[in-house]
Amino acid sequence: MIPPMVMWFKVQWFGIWVPLFLLWPIILVFLAIMLPLIFIGMVIAGRVSRFWVVIRIVLAAYSTICAARGLRIDIHKEQTVFEIYIP
């Protein structure tokens, strides 16, 4: 599964393509730093067996993000326009 790479974001008359592929390296570095710290914290707290729950939550979040491809949110109300599209 490949996560979405760009997102179209529009509010009123202003629209912009948001390059999500620039965020993925930042997120990976954040996970690489946080998961060992979480593991150490769980060892200190004596709940190492719960670390697999954390891994499953991370994987479930990743699969949810990958499933968001094709998501379209359009809100048109009187003078307000709000659109998000993830191709």
The pTM of the full predicted model, rounded to 2 decimals, is 0.72
CB atoms within 10 A of CB 37: 9
* Arithmetic mean of pLDDT over the chain: 90
52 Cβ partners below 8 Å, 6+ apart?
none
Q: How confident is the model at residue 2 (pLDDT cuts 50, 70, 90)?
A: confident
Q: What's the rounded Cα separation, in Å, for the pair 83 and 74?
A: 5
Using DSSP's 3-state secondary structure scheme, residue 18 falls into strand
Return the pLDDT at 47.
Answer: 85
